[in-house]
């Protein structure tokens, strides 16, 4: 069984005049939120083998907020993940080597939410997690899925939602 962790970047600052969207940093709330997410991941033993991350500043700073790792994963910035639609996220994950057991993907909405919402196979899952995911994918939220087949076959209804971690109240 493979594990997929989908993490939306933490809260970013508004773009300054003339600033490119890719260059927006995390704000104070975002840094606090990702520190809390890091603590929960550590508490739950969520440690990826591979991190696929959009190259935007806010996603890279989100990744930095998860460090240091107990066991350092391979990190790959992937240009195609910047504001990727669900189909783009799926295409990136379909290319993951079959030897990789656990992937953390750090990306953006709305594509991340659309992709996550499409994955659950309808099998048993914690009802609160399904309800939270159905409502949205807030900043610094993390969805954990068990992937039911090889990465190259990952598609709609091919994973099972294990948990959804969010600081937003249900």
Q: What CATH number does residue 159 fall under?
A: 3.40.50.1240
- Total tally of structural domains belonging to the chain: 1
Question: Domain range for residue 66?
Answer: 2-165
Average pLDDT over residues 17-33: 95
Report which DSSP code applies to 120.
B
In a domain, 16, yes or no: yes
- Whether pLDDT at 5 is above 70: yes
In a domain, 107, yes or no: yes
In a domain, 45, yes or no: yes
Average pLDDT over residues 79-83: 98
Predicted confidence at residue 167, as pLDDT, reads 82
Q: Band the pLDDT of 16: cuts 50, 70, 90.
A: confident
Cβ–Cβ under 8 Å, residues 139 and 37? no
User: Which CA distances in Å does 2 have to 48, 93, 97, 99, 112?
Assistant: 10, 12, 12, 10, 19
Q: Give the tens place of pLDDT for each residue, 87-146.
A: 999 999 999 999 999 999 999 999 999 999 999 988 888 899 999 999 999 999 999 999
For residues 20 and 170, the model is more confident at 20
Which phi and psi (to 5°) does residue 106 adopt?
Answer: -110, 120
In a domain, 138, yes or no: yes
In a domain, 82, yes or no: yes
In a domain, 20, yes or no: yes
Question: Which tokens go with 115?
Answer: 């992709």
In a domain, 170, yes or no: no
Q: What is the pTM of this model?
A: 0.96
In a domain, 14, yes or no: yes
Cβ–Cβ under 8 Å, residues 4 and 120? no
Q: Helix %, strand %, coil % for the chain, to 5?
A: 35, 20, 40
């Amino acid at each position: 069984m493979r594990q997929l962790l989908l993490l939306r970047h933490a809260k970013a600052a508004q773009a300054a005049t003339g600033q490119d969207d890719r260059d927006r940093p995390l704000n104070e709330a975002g840094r606090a939120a990702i520190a809390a997410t890091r603590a929960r991941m550590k508490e739950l033993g969520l440690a990826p083998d591979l991190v696929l991350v959009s190259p935007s500043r806010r996603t890279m700073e989100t990744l930095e907020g998860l460090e240091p790792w107990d066991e350092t994963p391979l990190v790959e910035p992937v240009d195609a993940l910047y504001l990727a639609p669900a189909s783009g996220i799926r295409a990136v994950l379909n290319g993951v080597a079959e030897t990789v057991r656990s992937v953390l993907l750090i990306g953006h909405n709305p594509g991340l939410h659309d992709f996550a919402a499409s994955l659950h196979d309808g099998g048993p899952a914690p009802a609160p997690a399904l309800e939270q995911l159905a409502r949205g994918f807030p900043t610094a939220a993390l969805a954990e899925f068990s992937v039911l087949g090889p990465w190259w076959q990952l598609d709609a209804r091919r994973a099972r939602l294990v948990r959804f971690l969010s600081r937003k109240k249900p």
